[in-house]
Structure 1
């Protein structure tokens, strides 16, 4: 109980010290005068998007330990770079991103990085102060880039030696993930252990070959360990104290301290102390998936080591040990791997049997040696020879067909993940193995008796825009694709495709209501992702052409589209979609105005239980006659939070309220999901069920 109370106190203190900075009250001016330092350049092209630390705000200096970070957009003549400092007038508001289910959570990600605000630099020209001298980390990374510049796999060597993946393309990241080798790129326990081991033995052999006389009272093992520990600390520093690297270093430190104090390896106590240290330093590390991967992995290794089969041959024992440990890691990490990656690398189970020893005993030691020697002499020819051998091996592995190396699944239920780990622990520790049946039965009962929707309509939170997905029997129909910004940032890439993958859906059809950016901006990215054929039914003349009027059966649902080319504006030519089942119906309306509404209700019956308000809830739409005709029970407004048009309009809200319709707004509620059952339907929202207390509005 005392530990629980102390943990709560630690969280509260940490939150108020580092995460609770509030903007100064400034009612007289629109923007704050500020001094900022650029931490990272997210987008180097104009207009730039940067992550910055606020050093001074509204004339007040902020203590470094409490200085908040902000995401800022700026469009100035000069391009800013990492490390630059400048004074500017900036608009700021509390960081608040879109909120959708089962996809990357920007709000949580920003909180973990202490990004508390976002805003815009208003200056068109800046007086930028360049750093007088670059940091050691910057110089080290520049040296790595220059040393391995001519190599084919410089992105791999750079990531292994610095922890920075900025040189990697999305294709290279995907290849490493599907091969099950992504863990090799994150500086973690394996890398820290390798650096410690390399310099431990290096110092040991240097002392042996130099034949330095040392007093017998000196414990040389402590000296070797200290050298290895110190070099590991330098490695973590040069990685800019990455969370994974810092966590692994704390674990190494705990193990060494316990070992030399207690004179025995006390594995479980070292894990416990390391976990406590990590959480005391930052209790919000519990939000980091890497915490679970690393500590579960170490726990699995400690468990498996105690039960390794023996052999009369040392080399055979080593191979058996590697195979058993790898199998144990694969099984033990499988549940959380499915949660965070929506799949698992089958090939990785075998590839790692070769990759881990190769990295541990050849690649990583040689990289450290090459890097050290390169500081003294030019060994480019040897580096290229080394690169040729490694790249040939990588090309050979990368030639494995995709269907043989990656198995994609839907995201599992958290309850089933908890039950999986409970079953593993019961089977491993309990003398009564049959107790495993209990959690398995709980999972089966939950699966059988939890009501499952017949179909679902998802309205994603995409800011000002519209993106919806109709889901039935693992098939999907997409209606609109949300906005794209500067042709670089697309909600299709960040929301729609990840959601489709998370639920392992098959997209059969796609519809674009009209060509405005907030509806069609992400369509080209959807096509580039391999979904071009999904447009053929409703856009046979190409996705940039208006949809055709059609009616077809979508897995038991009747889909009716109403196309138009009669109007001289895109909004009124929007493709309207009516979805009808035996139970309920939904109407998707694009950006139609009152003129198109009147024409539709005169020629068609459009009664629907659920409706997407036309034109995001603009007063140019949702006429009283249209509302009286449709008679919706539930209305969904897809809008931006505090957007410039202030949708939904208060008059529109009042008109729907007059017929007692239940209203939801993506700006306030996040993603809105309507689940249709046999005799009823329910509405759930992303912000209602998934927000954390420390990032609530």
Structure 2
């Protein structure tokens, strides 16, 4: 025990309090009101009773809880004064951002006044609003209007982008519609410095092919990037270069530090010996970094990196040979004090883990004379360390890893640091005085050639899709790294690995699953077995651009590394077939050949076939004069369970089917989303389901499922689930039964009311 305690020699009290604060923030935000939070709290209490330093950890833990409570009630707890859906709120609205400039416009706005109550802009809630007025509104405008408003709530699915959490992080509490056709708009003052700066960047680089890259590097704004640009950078492992982070802030600091230093040297400025020139040089670099962050409109990643720089800079001049890891810890505390809900942001973990790894590797590197070989070796070691340390969290958030990124970054990071960023800064500064378009175009052509060479790398060597691991495995991986690196008892590092292994070996794994995704009004389902998938319907598409296929289905397939063997469209209504064309565009066209050999606009084939030992029977029809009753119906049988997927059939088709086929099923998708035109008592008595799933929109215009349909299924004691209420619904089949899980219960947080 004495040996153990010697390794925890009297660190500053502030360090232990800071550590407790970080643990408290993460535990409270993610696990409050759960068993995990109780276990963590009791563990901290027990540790503080036996180890004196843990009393300070406990203090930090309590401070974190208090900070979260205060922050939540100050900024996130605003409630609508009237909960009636049809109530029109008089409001004063400030336009933060115009999301879509086309009529009707879609804006992100701050509610400065609501229902007669003035709200200070510091704590005013934000809302996403649709505006269909005769005037076009712009960023910075203010106007009074009547608005229909309700709590922000969107679809909820597992392992895909969560709009509810994203809106919460942006403090968007409501969504609604401006009811006025005529608005009295108070236009904002002249464009801000930030807007002028961004317009200047667009003009300066408008004739270049990589203007999206330069604009992102200099402003932090990725709005000029296409989807293809983002995919390319991600597959090459270069996405981190586009977010203003510690690398960029460090480069700005270094550039202006050196510029100031050599300016003083060249000009041979004489100063008194009492003046600390290093402080002067570093202050110039710090000020330049601040301006850079300001021009990025205090982008979260940029602000976080600037706080880290500030902490390191202050500690350097205040303390004698300060430990670098302390500056990282204090910076983390500062970020969480500003907003403890920053723990929801993935960039927080990438940034701080990356900086910590760089510091630790540099500290362990042998002290040798600096030459190009030693620098190259150091870069290689750092890059390998970053690749290994960030891999668990990369798999969690991206369900894959860039294979060539490990090598490309050895070229890209020095190139960005020594050439690209300094040249961009120089070009930007000179362009404020004189037009140097030929130089810019030449620079762009050289960089374009380099990017084309990288883009020519075959996809199979660029990106490896890996199924998203459980969070437990992520935690186990990092505990293993921490114990192996820091603990004197390195053999203990085997414990978290053993816990993860036991969980993997003994956690029951389903034989197969049915996923009914939450897509609003529509239907999108997926059968999953042995890493193979069968898709039945694709949900809606809006304006032929936005599709649930892109936002839900494809991300889910990637997160679980599934191969799609077959795809089926029940019928051609947009809420079922809207995303099919996008699925084909994404490269899944061959999956339609079995059931739609003559094209996706034709009815499915009626056939029986084996899908990984599941017996699939499809029933097609062309006897009816409406698309709904001609829906392709699917019966899925296994020794453990039978499922019936029904499309939009009505009572007429139901009666026809039960007369000619045996359709008894344990789980059924209610026909036509639970409409009263379907689910006749004859059909329900014949199928006799144990579980019924209604795929509907939350507070949709048709109010599905119908109360009469719910009552009819209730009469046979069937358990009912509704995607509008429960989010994505997953039926997992095991040897001895099945289990139903829902997204809103599985992946909900205490601070987001569903």
The TM tier, using the shorter chain, reads over 0.9
Map 1:360-379 to 2 at 5 A. 360-379=417-436
Quote the residue 1:674 is aligned against. 731
* Secondary structure of 1:41 counterpart: strand
Contact 2:85 2:149 in 1 (8 A): no
Alpha-carbon shift at residue 639 of structure 1 (Å): 0.8
Q: Does 1:215 align with 2:289?
A: no
State how far apart, in whole Å, the 2-side matches of 1:694 and 1:577 are.
39
Quote the residue 1:120 is aligned against. 177
Q: Does 1:110 align with 2:167?
A: yes
Quote the residue 2:139 is aligned against. 82
Alpha-carbon shift at residue 313 of structure 1 (Å): 5.5
State how far apart, in whole Å, the 2-side matches of 1:307 and 1:196 are.
25
Q: Does 1:646 align with 2:703?
A: yes
Q: Does 1:340 align with 2:397?
A: yes
1:27–1:296 distance in 2 versus 1, CA, 3 Å: closer
From 98, 112, 115, the equivalent of 1:58 is 115
1:103–1:627 distance in 2 versus 1, CA, 3 Å: same
How many correspondences in the alignment?
697
Q: Does 1:386 align with 2:437?
A: no
Quote the residue 1:683 is aligned against. 740
Q: Does 1:138 align with 2:195?
A: yes
Map 1:274-285 to 2 at 5 A. 274-285=331-342
Quote the residue 2:46 is aligned against. none
State how far apart, in whole Å, the 2-side matches of 1:695 and 1:493 are.
25
Q: Does 1:410 align with 2:461?
A: no
Contact 1:309 1:317 in 2 (8 A): no
Alpha-carbon shift at residue 106 of structure 1 (Å): 0.4
Contact 1:598 1:626 in 2 (8 A): yes
Q: Does 1:94 align with 2:151?
A: yes
Q: TM-score, normalised by structure 2?
A: 0.91
Quote the residue 1:470 is aligned against. 527
Quote the residue 1:542 is aligned against. 599
**What are the superposed Cα offsets for residues 160-204 of structure 1, whole Å, 9 maximum, x if unpaired?**
000000001000010000000000000000000111111111111
Alpha-carbon shift at residue 212 of structure 1 (Å): 2.4
**What are the superposed Cα offsets for residues 222-245 of structure 1, whole Å, 9 maximum, x if unpaired?**
111111111111100100101100
Alpha-carbon shift at residue 312 of structure 1 (Å): 4.9
From 633, 657, 666, the equivalent of 1:576 is 633
State how far apart, in whole Å, the 2-side matches of 1:239 and 1:263 are.
33
State how far apart, in whole Å, the 2-side matches of 1:284 and 1:53 are.
20
From 503, 514, 526, the equivalent of 1:446 is 503
* Secondary structure of 1:306 counterpart: helix
From 540, 543, 547, the equivalent of 1:490 is 547
Map 1:292-303 to 2 at 5 A. 292-303=349-360
**What are the superposed Cα offsets for residues 552-601 of structure 1, whole Å, 9 maximum, x if unpaired?**
10010000011111111111111110000011100001111111111110
380-389 or 585-594, which moves further after superposition? 380-389
Quote the residue 1:155 is aligned against. 212
92-101 or 417-426, which moves further after superposition? 417-426
Contact 1:309 1:320 in 2 (8 A): no
Ranges in structure 1 where 5+ consecutive residues have no aligned partner: none
From 71, 75, 79, the equivalent of 1:14 is 71
State how far apart, in whole Å, the 2-side matches of 1:437 and 1:137 are.
51
Alpha-carbon shift at residue 311 of structure 1 (Å): 4.5
Q: Does 1:351 align with 2:396?
A: no
Q: Does 1:49 align with 2:106?
A: yes
State how far apart, in whole Å, the 1-side matches of 2:69 and 2:83 are.
28
Ranges in structure 2 where 5+ consecutive residues have no aligned partner: 1-57
Alpha-carbon shift at residue 27 of structure 1 (Å): 6.1
Q: TM-score, normalised by structure 1?
A: 0.98
State how far apart, in whole Å, the 2-side matches of 1:454 and 1:295 are.
39
From 492, 497, 511, the equivalent of 2:568 is 511
Question: Over aligned residues, Cα RMSD in angstroms?
Answer: 1.4
Alpha-carbon shift at residue 85 of structure 1 (Å): 2.7
399-408 or 326-335, which moves further after superposition? 399-408
Quote the residue 2:317 is aligned against. 260
**What are the superposed Cα offsets for residues 523-567 of structure 1, whole Å, 9 maximum, x if unpaired?**
111111111111111112211111121111001000001111111
State how far apart, in whole Å, the 2-side matches of 1:568 and 1:88 are.
46
State how far apart, in whole Å, the 2-side matches of 1:430 and 1:694 are.
36
Q: Does 1:174 align with 2:227?
A: no
From 517, 523, 529, the equivalent of 2:586 is 529
* Secondary structure of 2:160 counterpart: coil
From 272, 286, 300, the equivalent of 1:243 is 300
From 86, 91, 97, the equivalent of 1:40 is 97
* Secondary structure of 1:673 counterpart: strand
Contact 2:571 2:577 in 1 (8 A): yes
State how far apart, in whole Å, the 2-side matches of 1:412 and 1:55 are.
43
**What are the superposed Cα offsets for residues 403-453 of structure 1, whole Å, 9 maximum, x if unpaired?**
111111111111111111122222222344433332222222211111111
Contact 2:86 2:148 in 1 (8 A): no
